[in-house]
Structure formats: structure tokens, C-alpha cells
Chain A
Amino acid sequence: MKKSFLLLATIVCSFGYYAQTVEEIISTYHQTIGGTKWDGIAGMKMNANVDQGGMKIPVEVVMLKDGRMYTEITLMGNTMIMQAYDGSTVWTTNFMSMEAEKAPADETENTKRAAKEFPNALINYKSLGYTPTLLGTETIDGTVCHKIKLDKKTILAEGKEVPSFEYYYIDTENNVPILTETEIQSGEMKGKTSQTKYSDYQEVDGVIVAFSNTSGIKDGMTQTIQFDKITLNPKIDESKFLFPKK
């Protein structure tokens, strides 16, 4: 009888009668995507073939736990780093000169500050000293989500320290984010909201990863990247992160 009662109680609770705290929501999300298995993951390589209006562009994104990352694309047979961070410098390839150039100082500084967020800032909020706040529920494209505001301290925007917030919308049924938002803090899009939508969560060696990310400005144009393959703890050519010597 006790077991039946527990089962029934669980069923009822699962329909949302039980108000979760923000810590519980984040913990449930963390458990859903693999929990402590993420602790043993030092990096991730994600490969996609982006179809840009009929033109195929192979893309490789590598993110390491120490914050280093690169995005490499192959365009008309030419493989190049679009953007990389080697631990001290964020750099990009100028598409006019095809030469490597350093990103603005603000961007490098902000990347350094976010270097320990892997796999994301919400899961690691405690160690990063970030503060999550549950703002309630909000329906996103027909799906009821927990809305969590993550206070990520400050970032540099045009040389000034400004508050940095990231918003996570976690599907109340599936316990994974389907949307994140940040406010653009610099440049001509300052004040607009940048969004990324997530779907196609799939298992990779015991952890759950979103294979589809759709990014853009809220209520504006978007671009989807659908990963074909995600590799955990990949073997990496370390030189790809490094800002090339001229």
C-alpha cells in the first residue's frame, strides 16, 4: 500500500503540483543531461554541414573545459578558423584579407571570464559564483517553461563594466532548456535580445546534448546549425587554437 501511495503521489507531483526551487530545477536539469558524467568530460567536438541556401559548409566546433575553443569552417575547399580562443587571445579570420586578426579587447576579456562555464553557465553556477533566480513559468512557442535568470556578474561592453544576465527557459516536462536569451550589450544591436533555441537532444556516451541550435535576434532572422556528430573528449590539434604567428 505504501508503494502504491508513493507512486500515486509521484504521478500527481509530476503534473506540477509541487513547486520546485531554482536549485531543484537546475539539479533536475543537470541530472537529466548526465549529472556527474559531465565531470569527466574535458571537451567536445561538434561537426555539422550547414546548408547555406544550397551551399554546403562543413563546420567543426571544439570547446574545451579550460575555455579554449575554435570554430572551423570549410568554404570552397578552404578550411579556416572563423573564431578561436587560445586561452589568452580571441581571434578571427578576416574574410577580406584571409588573415588572422585579434578580436576587440572586450570580447577577449569576456571570453576569459566565461572560460570555466563548460558545458554551460547554469550547471556550474555555484563554482562560478553566479546567481540564479526563478522568475516563474513562461510559455515559449506553446511549451511551458521555467524561466531562470542567471546573474553572471559583469562583462565589459565598450570598455565599461555592465551587468550580465542570461535567461534559461527550461521545459517543465522534459527538464532541459529549449531557449536561452541574453541582451546584446554593445554595438549597433545594443539593447536587442539574442536568442538560441535548442532541440534534438540526444545521448552521446552517457550524456545528453542538444544537436540542434537555432540562433538569432528575437523576432528576427535565425540560423539553425544541426550537428551530425558530437564527440566527447576528442583528440585535437592544439595548434588550431593558437593565434597564428605572422
Chain B
Amino acid sequence: MNQLIIYLFVSGWAVCSWAQTPTLNAGDYFGDLKARHIGPALMSGRISDVELHPKNSNILLVGAAGGGVWKSQDGGVRFTSIFDQYCQSIGCISIDPSDPDNTYWVGTGETWTRNSVSMGDGIYKTTDGGKNWTKMGLEKSDRIASIQINPKNPNEIYVAVLGALWGPSNERGVYKSIDGGKTWNNLLFINNTTGCSELVMDPTQPQVLYAAFWEFGRTAYSFNSGGLNSALYKSMDGGATWKKLENGLPQGEKGRIAVSIAPSNPSIVYAVIEAKKKEEKGLYRSEDGGNTWTFLNGDFALTVRPFYFSRITVHPKDPNIIAKGGLFGSISRDGGKTFKNLGSMHSDIHDVVFDNNQPDKVFVATDGGLYRSLDGGSSMEMIEDLPVSQFYHVSLDNRSPYYVYGGLQDNNSWFGPSASPGGVEARDWELVGQGDGFRVYPHPTHPNIVYSEMQGAEAIWRFDVEKQQLKTVKPYPLEGDPKLRFNWNAPLTTSKHNPDRLFVGSQFVHVSNDRGDSWAKISPDLTTNDKVKQNQEASGGLSADNSGAENHCTIFSITESPLTDQVIWVGTDDGNVQVTKDGGKTWENLTKNITGLPANTWCYHIEASVHGKEIAYAVFDGHTKNDYTAYVYKTVDFGKTWQSIATTEITSFVRNIQEDYSNKNLLYLGAENGLYITLNGGKTWSAFTNNFPKVAVHYLELHPTKHSLVAATHGRGIIILDDVRPLRNINEGLLTKNLSFFETDRFTLPEKSNFGGTAAENQFVGDNPSSNAKISYLLPKRHTFGKMTGEITTLNGTLVSKIEVGKNKGINTIEWGFNANAPKVAKGKGFSVAPPPYVTAGNYIVKITKGNEIFEKQIEVIYDSSSSFTLGERAQQQQTTAEVFNMIQDLAYLVYQIDQWDATATAYKTKHTKADKYVDALRMDLTAMRNTLVVTTGDNYVGAAEDELREKLNEIFANVSNYFGAPSSSELANITALSNELNKAKKQFGVLQETKIKALKSLLEKDTEIKNPEILSFDEFIKQ
């Protein structure tokens, strides 16, 4: 017993000690620091799978290649992301036919296996329409192609696991669960390089299944589709036994196979087969459940790029109408004999689905988003609410608001503002490149000049946005040069030391000092130049696919030190890290100095430090060798030694690291599964999940003056953390205090105003950043019990404005709109608003009361230095604003007094029906006065009465107080007139007080029940 007590005591003590020890694990203190999304959605992104509710045409689920799962409940007008907390690479979605309102399955890991494809981490299930998800296993599946649910038994589920793309894996083939996904049994496995690429179930006989198996694989420098193990199988007994279907189908090596059953006649089955012989490639049809097959069609539309387009869909009512994914998508209405293209839309069609209930309604998944047709696929409209754009890169400029620049998978190159009136809309983005877009940079000092590129540096452009002049500026091989090898995503970057300098990487580093007009090589071949990895012509397997996507032994990262132009770091896709310290005269290969890094691991990014030219960070991505380990290294000696700063908290491979410019221990990491942050130089990392999905982050950029961290995500567009400064300033000392304010810069009073945006209701609009003053503080523990309030005061304690305060553990941010209190407005019929005026420049106190403790922070408000208004003009505006403010409150007090005396006179008259005529006269006079001072009839819309003094004062107040320059002469004249009107009314009331009110007072002295009204003083009234 004693031992037990000691054990319990020690355990309890240990927990107490641990709980009380301050720690700087970033994830504990993110608080209300929240990311915002600006999309865009105008080009959307690759959609991998679409699933429609079988009975309710309004409900559809969309799986994005890298952007998660989206649900629409209005037929595709608006969408909600329902899978943010999980892997964003989607292979397939399935709706349980016996519970279609609630139970959905998601297989993660896209199966359209292009070079840039992400991977999955298993299968998920929701039973409440997508609100909550549970992972149901198959964690090593890598990518899931199909989920089939027995419509008569929802616990019986079949899954097609395609498996790993980048190497062998054993979790492949057809899996079955008979207990709702709790356990899985592998029914059909071929080998560790052949996976199940399609699985379909006979809707009338759930035990009948067709499974397509595909032998395939990628390396960083090659792709293979096809082999002797690819085949089409059928099971008649729920997967217990399988028969290979061969009668009438191509023999020997095959590649990817698409297969589909006609729902209206399940004996009819279609298959599109990638065969070795050209004449055998194409569409086959069986009319006897797969026993025999007839070749129908080998058109280009059916056979093009099978690894990327391998979905065939049969119309729900007509077995002779079939649609096939492809470069443009095609449809046959004669059972597959002939095809025509679907209506115009973005190319690269991955899925076509017909609505069961209205088959002319068709949804199509493309590289450029989701399309809808209402006429059976002839004309298409793009869905504009899916911000699943796939950026490869992002750069920023120094405008205000700053602009973001980047290129997207199959969706060109763009730039757009980080903020825009009404939010960041589709119309705000400007096209600055074609093809697949990658790295886009503004000229450092002339933002009208933008550099962009397309895949494999087939073109590098210099585009004058203002003059609309376009010039190709790519470096060409000179006489004697070998062929230049450019990566699919070739490095292009500007210089921090020479605004006209450009760097481009092939196997060499090319430099231009005249904006790309002329180029010089400043390095030898910095790659391994392994010839085995340079045979892209042979890439593709049974269908040649030499698109440039497999170009290898190339430079991938070029980073010039921000401290000196002599130091340049280079990383290559075949694992080399090289540095020059003399501007390119000599280079040193540092690769051998990096311990723990497997050979030839792709160097994805090198971050040259601002804290020392000898300091750099390098991240390596091994996923193209089937290695999903996070490799993050730091050197402080020009690469002689490297220290790993990756921890097990990072649960995927990484592509980018961004150093904080102020706090050298604060680092941001872009990973395949989201954003990670460390506050301690990499000792511990935390996933940042506040409105930041588990999406692949390809690039991070930190704005040097706006302090915004901007993430280029490959599936959820641009995501921004607007102000990272609170993270910079967290330290262990703050954790011992009940509340600590962070330091702030001076706050600039915003002067811009606008009429908002123009986006339609069905269009995605990116959030704007707040223009308020943001005051941040740290709470080491959530505030739950007791009162906690906040206010802004002047330095002498006068209340300016009450403010909402956050109560989260960690970082909290107060937002103050620079407003003081609004004037008190006279009571009348309907609403007449006098807006709160802005404060003037100066010092203010932010005061937080938390229980019995008061915490204060002085802040300073300044005027915009770029403003055209002079201090003299501002003074006139402030003086006039104050005058009208006082007039509004004077009027309110006057009307209050009128109301009080009117109520008293009315009460007296009600009691004394034969009262002195002065009482009636007083009531009439008060009513008449009120009618000229405030609106007393009508409504707040077109039935409104004519404006009276209150409404006129409020209007001129709004106009004067919300403009920062001097009031116009017209406004001043109007104010003078209104002032005279007010003074006249005051005088008139004064006369009444001396006459009729005085008379009423005399009458009231004799009345025991009705008393003089208790008129508050002006100050009391205002505070009331």
C-alpha cells in the first residue's frame, strides 16, 4: 500500500510539476490567430471525383485533387468545405445508398497520377452528413480509387486501393468490410506494383463486381503505365472468387482500364483499355456481363493519356449514352460507336456524372474546376464557388495592399490583391502567363513588370502589365552548350541586390542583369547529371507521355542571400546542395555534409537567412522515392555542417521553410499536410490549424513590412496569416503573467472608403484583412469565470469606446475601428443614424479589466503619411464634426424635455378634462415643435416622412465626420442654417418654459398625484 501511495504521490506531483512548467510549444498559444483564404476560384482547380445524392438533386459532393471535400445543398450554386481537418487529396467519394442524407465515405489520395499529385492517408466515414468524420483504416493505401457500398447492406463495403505511386506497397487491391469499416479483408491482391484502379458494383446484384487492376509507377524522372499484371476481373460472389475477363479484350501487356456498368441494363458493361497495340486501345462493350467483348472505338478522345483520364460513365436511364473523361471529354449516344466532344469548358476531364433524377443535368470534373450542364453536356457553365486552386509558388510585392503572384497547375499565372473593396473577387485577378504556371515575380521596383513562366521553362515571359507588352526572355543554349535541362517547375527568381537581375536554373545557374534580355551562365552543371535519369522520351509506358513533367537532374531552388549578392545557394532535384560565396565564380557541393539524408533526395527549397550570410535552411522532399519523411536542416557555417531540425511532430514530408525576419527561433514550415510553426528554432513544431486545412503547402513567403505569412497551397489557393508579430513576441516570461500585451506599431487611421464589391451570390469572395487597429495580448490560460471587459480611453481616463476582448488561451487580438462613441440622437419615429466619429491622432489607453485586475497598454494613432489632407484641413473637419456632434446631442436633449413635458401635460389633461386652456395650448405647441425637430410619422423605407432637423443634422454629420478633409463651403453653409434652426427651437422652448410650462407647473403644485417631471440634467441625460 505504501508503495502505491508513493507511486500515486509521485505521479500526481509529476503531473502538477509538468502542468506548471512554462513551455513554448507554439500550438498551445495560437489562440485566435486565424488564417484567411483569398482563393481565387475564378480558375478553380483540379476536381478528382463528383458524387450526387441518388434521390435529392440538390445535394452533391465534390472531391478536389488537393482541396478536400465540398458539399452543396442547392444543386451546385454554393459549396461548403466539410473535410478541412483531414487529408485534402481526394481519390473518391461514395454516398451510402441506404442512408444518402447522412453517411458518406471518402477515400483519400487522388488517383489521377500526374507528377504533382498528392497522396492519401486512408478511408474516412461520416454518419452525420459531413459534420464529423472517423478514419476507418487503410492508412497505407496511399490512394483509393473507388468505394462501393452494398445498397441492401450498408455494412458491406468494397474498396479499390490503387496503392503507392512512387514505389512498391503492399496495401493494394480490393478490400472488403462486412462490419461497416471496422475491419478490412484484402480480397484480391496481385503484387506490390499493381493496384486496383476501378471497382464497380452491379446495382441490382451487389455480389457482382468488376475490378480493374493497373500496373504502374513513377519516379522523379520517369512514368510507367502498363504491364502483364494489368487486367480486368469479375466476381460473382461478393469478392470471394475472381475471374479474369479476356474474351474479346486485348491480350498481353495492358495499362489503365476504365470500366462501367449501365445502370438501366447491368448486362451491358463498357471498358476503355490502354493496350500495347495502338489498334487495340479504346472502348470495348460487353452485353453479357463481361463474358464477351466487342471493340467499338479507338478515337483519340477515348485513348488519350489513360493515367490521367480513365473514367467512363453510363447514363442512368439509357445504356447507349456514355460519357468518357479525356482531354476535352466526350459523349456517345449510339452505344459507343461514335463520340463527340462535350461542350466547351476547361480541358482535362476526370469525371462525368449524370443526375439520376434529371439525366440532362450533368456535372463534369476538370483541371479547372467543376462544370454543370443542364442540356446533357452540350453547353457547360462553370461553378464559381470552389476555391481549390493549386498554386506551386507565391511571391509578393510592396504595394499597399500588397499583391500576390503565383502560377497554378494547368491554370496559368496570375497576380491579385491581398485586399480589395468588398473582398478579393474573381475580377481582381490578372492573367500573366499561360499553360501550367509556376513561379511569378514582380520586378522589385517596377511592379508593372511581371516575370512568369510555363512548364519546363518552355517560355519565360517579361510582361509589362501597364503597356500590355509581352516578351519571351528565357535563356537559350549558346554554341557548345549541352541541351538545357529545365525542371517542370523551373527556378526563376529576382534579386534583392539588383532590381534588374533575374536568376533562372537549368542544370546551370543563368543570370541576367537586364531583365532577361541577355543571360550569362555563372555555374557549371550543379546536378549529378546522371544520364540514366534523363531518358524522358521513353517515359509513359504503353502510352508515351513526354510532357516535360519528368525532366530531371535539374536545379530546383536558387536563393540569393539577402545580405550579400556574393552568396547564392542552389538545390537540385537529384539531391545536390551547392553554394557560391563569390557570386558564382566557384561553387562548393555541400551534399556530403548533410547527415541522415538519403542520397539523391530532392532539395525543394533553401532559405538563406537574414540573420547571417552563413546561415541557411534546407528542406528535402523524398516522396518521389516513396519516402514521406520530413527532412529539415539548418547550417550556421556555410554548409560545412547541418543540423536536422525536423521532429516527429511533423507527420508528412515538407516542401518549404520560411524564416522569420525578426525572431530567429520562429520558423514556418510548409508541409504536404499543412503549415507547421516552431517558436524554439525547431525543437518542437506545431501544426497550425486555425482555419488552415491540412492542405499541401508548396511555398511560403513572409511580407517584410506587413508581417503577413502567405502560403501557396496546392488545393486551397492562397491562405494568409495577416500578422505574425504576436508569435514573434511570445516568450516564457509571459506565461507566468495573467495577461501580457504585445508591443504594437503605431496605428494608421485608414482614410479609404469605397462602395464594396460586385461579386454575384454564387461566386467565391476572398476575405479581406481587417483595417482596424489590432492590439494583441497573451493569456496563459483561458478566461472562463468572472468578468472580463475592455475599453479604449484617453490618457486621462475618459472613455472613448468599449471594445470586445478575446478570452482564449494564447494570443488574443482586440480590434478597434478607431471610433469614438456616437452622439446621442433625439428620439423620433424610425431610425436616423449618426455614425460614430473617428478619433484624432494621438495616444490612447487600451484597458482590460479581468476580475479585479486591470491591464493597460498605451497605443498611438497616427494619420496616413501619404494622405493629401493637411493638418489644418483636419482641424477644420474635427472642429466642425464636434460642433455638429454637440448640436445633435443638444437636439436630443431638447426633444427629451419636450417629450417629458408633453407626457406630463397629457397626464394632467387626462385627469383634469376641463383643465385650463393653457394645458391644451402647451400640448399643441410641444407637438408642433416636435414635428419640426424629428420625424414622427411614416416608416423606414419608401413610406418615410420628410426629413426634419434630426435627420438633416445626422446626414450632415455623417458626411463631415467620415471625410478627413475640410468640410466644403456648401456643407458649412448647411450647418449654419441647421444651427440657426436649432437655436430658434431652443429659444422657442425657452419661451414656453417661461409661459405655458410655468403655468402648468403652478397647476401641478396643487395636484397630489401628478408631479413635475424629473428632468435629468444634460450630462445625466447623455450618460443615461
Interface residues of A (CB under 8 A from B): 1, 4-5, 8-9, 11-12, 15, 49, 51, 53-56, 75-78, 95-98, 135, 141-143, 149, 162-163, 165, 167, 171, 174, 176, 178, 183, 188, 190-193, 199-202, 211-212, 214, 219, 224, 226
B131 on the A face (CB < 8 A): yes
CA distance A165 to B127 in the complex (A): 12
Nearest chain A CB to B1021 CB, angstrom units: 11
Task: State whether A143 touches B782 (Cβ < 8 A).
Answer: yes
B73 on the A face (CB < 8 A): yes
Partner of B788, one of A4, A191, A199: A199
Give the residues in chain B near A8, CB-CB below 8 Å: 5, 8-9, 12
Task: State whether B102 touches A95 (Cβ < 8 A).
Answer: no
**Can you give 20 A-B contacts (C-beta < 8 A)?**
A12-B15, A15-B12, A53-B817, A54-B837, A55-B821, A96-B940, A97-B941, A98-B940, A141-B30, A141-B31, A141-B809, A142-B782, A163-B128, A163-B129, A190-B73, A200-B783, A200-B787, A201-B784, A202-B786, A226-B789
Q: Chain A interface: which of B549-557, B723-731, B750-758, B822-830?
A: B822-830
Residues 28-40 of chain B, each 1 if its beta carbon lies under 8 Å from chain A, else 0: 1111101000000
Partner of A199, one of B30, B783, B826, B827: B783
Give the residues in chain A near B835, CB-CB below 8 Å: 53-55
Interface residues of B (CB under 8 A from A): 1, 5, 8-9, 11-12, 15-16, 19, 28-32, 34, 71-74, 78, 80, 82, 101-102, 128-129, 131-132, 691, 761, 782-789, 801-804, 807-810, 817, 819-822, 825-833, 835-837, 892, 939-941, 943
> In this complex, what residue of B is CB-closest to A141?
B808
CA distance A98 to B345 in the complex (A): 49
Task: State whether B822 touches A54 (Cβ < 8 A).
Answer: yes
Contacts A8-B5, A141-B808, A165-B128; is A200 near B801 (CB within 8 Å)?
Answer: no
Task: State whether A188 touches B761 (Cβ < 8 A).
Answer: yes
Additional 11 contacts, C-beta under 8 A, given A77-B826, A141-B809, A171-B782:
A15-B12, A15-B19, A51-B801, A56-B822, A96-B939, A97-B940, A142-B809, A142-B810, A199-B783, A212-B788, A224-B804
Task: State whether B787 touches A211 (Cβ < 8 A).
Answer: yes
CA distance A223 to B994 in the complex (A): 48
> In this complex, what residue of B is CB-closest to A211?
B787
Contacts A77-B827, A97-B939; is A54 near B819 (CB within 8 Å)?
Answer: yes
Give the residues in chain A near B939, CB-CB below 8 Å: 96-98
Give the residues in chain A near B940, CB-CB below 8 Å: 95-98
Contacts A97-B939, A171-B782; is A78 near B827 (CB within 8 Å)?
Answer: yes
Give the residues in chain B near A226, CB-CB below 8 Å: 789, 804
CA distance A98 to B789 in the complex (A): 33
Give the residues in chain B near A78, CB-CB below 8 Å: 827-831
Task: State whether A54 touches B8 (Cβ < 8 A).
Answer: no
Nearest chain A CB to B897 CB, angstrom units: 13
Partner of A54, one of B15, B31, B807, B836: B836
Most buried by B among A15, A163, A200, A201: A200
> In this complex, what residue of B is CB-closest to A203?
B785
Most buried by B among A5, A76, A143, A224: A76
> In this complex, what residue of A is CB-closest to B801?
A54
Task: State whether B821 touches A54 (Cβ < 8 A).
Answer: yes
Give the residues in chain A near B810, CB-CB below 8 Å: 141-142
Give the residues in chain B near A212, CB-CB below 8 Å: 788, 807
Give the residues in chain A near B837, CB-CB below 8 Å: 54
Q: Report the 5 A-B pairs with minimum CB-CB distance, sorted nearest first.
A: A54-B836, A77-B827, A142-B809, A141-B808, A191-B80
CA distance A183 to B102 in the complex (A): 13
Nearest chain B CB to A219 CB, angstrom units: 5
CA distance A143 to B783 in the complex (A): 10
Partner of B28, one of A1, A97, A142: A142
CA distance A167 to B131 in the complex (A): 10
> In this complex, what residue of B is CB-closest to A191?
B80
CA distance A199 to B788 in the complex (A): 9
Give the residues in chain A near B784, CB-CB below 8 Å: 171, 174, 176, 178, 199, 201
CA distance A199 to B821 in the complex (A): 25
Nearest chain B CB to A187 CB, angstrom units: 10
CA distance A212 to B131 in the complex (A): 26
Give the residues in chain B near A12, CB-CB below 8 Å: 8, 11-12, 15
Nearest chain B CB to A52 CB, angstrom units: 9
CA distance A8 to B4 in the complex (A): 11
Task: State whether B131 touches A75 (Cβ < 8 A).
Answer: no
Task: State whether A97 touches B943 (Cβ < 8 A).
Answer: yes
Partner of B831, one of A95, A142, A143: A95
Task: State whether B836 touches A76 (Cβ < 8 A).
Answer: no
Nearest chain B CB to A136 CB, angstrom units: 10
Task: State whether B34 touches A219 (Cβ < 8 A).
Answer: yes
> In this complex, what residue of B is CB-closest to A225?
B804
CA distance A9 to B11 in the complex (A): 10
Task: State whether B802 touches A143 (Cβ < 8 A).
Answer: no
Nearest chain B CB to A118 CB, angstrom units: 22
Give the residues in chain A near B82, CB-CB below 8 Å: 191
Partner of B691, one of A1, A163, A219: A219
Nearest chain B CB to A3 CB, angstrom units: 12
Give the residues in chain A near B802, CB-CB below 8 Å: 49, 51
Nearest chain B CB to A198 CB, angstrom units: 8
Nearest chain A CB to B842 CB, angstrom units: 17
Task: State whether A76 touches B5 (Cβ < 8 A).
Answer: no
Most buried by A among B80, B782, B784, B836: B784
Give the residues in chain A near B29, CB-CB below 8 Å: 142
Task: State whether B782 touches A178 (Cβ < 8 A).
Answer: yes
Task: State whether B821 touches A76 (Cβ < 8 A).
Answer: no
Give the residues in chain A near B31, CB-CB below 8 Å: 141-142
Give the residues in chain B near A211, CB-CB below 8 Å: 787
CA distance A245 to B478 in the complex (A): 90
Task: State whether B831 touches A75 (Cβ < 8 A).
Answer: yes
> In this complex, what residue of A is CB-closest to B817?
A53
> In this complex, what residue of A is CB-closest to B788?
A200
Task: State whether A76 touches B807 (Cβ < 8 A).
Answer: no
CA distance A95 to B19 in the complex (A): 52
Contacts A54-B836, A76-B825, A202-B786; is A190 near B74 (CB within 8 Å)?
Answer: yes
CA distance A4 to B4 in the complex (A): 12
> In this complex, what residue of A is CB-closest to B34?
A219
> In this complex, what residue of B is CB-closest to A16?
B15
Give the residues in chain B near A56, CB-CB below 8 Å: 821-822
Task: State whether A76 touches B833 (Cβ < 8 A).
Answer: yes
Give the residues in chain B near A98, CB-CB below 8 Å: 829-830, 939-940
Give the residues in chain B near A199, CB-CB below 8 Å: 782-784, 788, 807
Partner of A201, one of B32, B131, B785, B830: B785
Nearest chain A CB to B402 CB, angstrom units: 22
Partner of A15, one of B15, B30, B80, B831: B15
Give the residues in chain A near B131, CB-CB below 8 Å: 165, 167, 183, 193
Nearest chain A CB to B604 CB, angstrom units: 29
CA distance A142 to B811 in the complex (A): 10
Most buried by B among A8, A49, A54: A54
Give the residues in chain B near A5, CB-CB below 8 Å: 1, 5, 8
Nearest chain A CB to B667 CB, angstrom units: 20
Nearest chain B CB to A60 CB, angstrom units: 15
CA distance A31 to B277 in the complex (A): 76
> In this complex, what residue of B is CB-closest to A11?
B12
Task: State whether A143 touches B808 (Cβ < 8 A).
Answer: yes
CA distance A200 to B850 in the complex (A): 9
Give the residues in chain A near B32, CB-CB below 8 Å: 141
Give the residues in chain A near B830, CB-CB below 8 Å: 78, 98
Task: State whether B809 touches A143 (Cβ < 8 A).
Answer: yes
Partner of B785, one of A97, A141, A174, A191: A174
Nearest chain B CB to A243 CB, angstrom units: 19
> In this complex, what residue of B is CB-closest to A222?
B804
Task: State whether B822 touches A142 (Cβ < 8 A).
Answer: no
Contacts A171-B782, A200-B783, A202-B787; is A76 near B831 (CB within 8 Å)?
Answer: yes
Task: State whether B836 touches A142 (Cβ < 8 A).
Answer: no
> In this complex, what residue of A is CB-closest to B810?
A142
